[in-house]
Amino acid sequence: MPFHLFKSVCVVCVLCGCSSAGAQTPERSTTTLSRAAAARANARNAERFDATFRKYSKRYFGIGFDWHRFKAQAMAESNLDTAAVSWVGARGLMQLMPSTYAVIQTARPEFGDINDPEWNIAAGIMHDRYLWKRWSPAVPDSERVHFMFGSYNAGEGPISRATEAARSRQLEPAQWSSIEAIAPDIPRWRYRETLGYVRKIDANYRRLKAP
């Protein structure tokens, strides 16, 4: 590269160590430290529910199921915000509707308030378990996680109608790619939201599992 393309630095600046020679000013140093502290705080905040995700994943899905799936789901649902409330009234980390939570509480009366992060996570994973079983044995495990999360978002009805439509068009109904292909033709389904939701969980999961 020609010499004139390099940024020139005056000799005096090099000797005195001023900022034009590359040294950080006190203000820049403070900003860097603040950003590092914020990054550490965000990391701690993101990890504070990990033990709860592990606990209820093991309880409702067994030791072999990867609990990161449910953390990835909560990230898609609420960005791990315990105070999140959707425009339709879904609440908490797992964005449960109060009516759904009330039904779950009839089976698990020990579950406390819907806004308590532990019970919100527990109920969300318990509901996932119901949906996981709903798609067995018709859908293999490798595909079933998508059917489970798709049903969590849209309800069982739209996904069931999509599988029937896929079958009628000679598509493989047990493949999520078939559901994606047929989705625009399914009435009474905000399919873009559901497909985006499942993709977002997949992306979150890959990010959580990245080395």
**What pTM did the predictor assign?**
0.80
Instruction: Extract the tokens encoding 112.
Output: 């406390």
CB atoms within 10 A of CB 164: 13
**How far is residue 146 from each of residues 35, 67, 91, measured CA to CA in Å?**
36, 15, 22
Instruction: Extract the tokens encoding 175.
Output: 């493949």
State the greatest distance between any 2 C-alpha atoms of the chain, in Å, as a whole number.
Answer: 79
Q: What is the pLDDT of residue 16?
A: 39
pLDDT, mean of residues 54-63: 98
Question: What are the backbone dihedrals phi and psi of residue 140, each rounded to the nearest 5 degrees, phi first?
Answer: -65, 155
Structural domains in the chain, CATH included, are 3-44 (no CATH), 50-209 (1.10.530.10)
pLDDT, mean of residues 7-25: 43
Over residues 93-129, the pLDDT tens digits come to 999 999 999 999 999 999 999 999 999 999 999 999 9
Q: What is the pLDDT of residue 55?
A: 98
Instruction: Extract the tokens encoding 26.
Output: 């006190």
C-alpha 72/C-alpha 68 separation (Å) is 6
Decide if pLDDT at 184 tops 90: yes
Question: Among residues 157, 100, 159, which one has the least CA distance to residue 126?
Answer: 100
Amino acid letter for position 202: D
**How far is residue 119 from each of residues 46, 61, 95, 123, 149, measured CA to CA in Å?**
18, 16, 12, 6, 19
pLDDT band at residue 11 under the 50/70/90 scheme: very low
Percent of the chain with pLDDT over 70: 79
> Which residue in the block uniquely carries the two structure tokens 């532990």?
118
Could you tell me how far CA 174 lies from the centroid of its own chain?
Answer: 23
Q: To the nearest 10°, report the CA torsion of 165, 169, 174, 180.
A: -70
Decide if pLDDT at 200 tops 60: yes
Decide if pLDDT at 18 tops 70: no
Q: What is the pLDDT of residue 107?
A: 95
pLDDT, mean of residues 57-64: 97
pLDDT band at residue 24 under the 50/70/90 scheme: low
Q: What is the pLDDT of residue 46?
A: 77
What three-state secondary structure class fits 62? coil
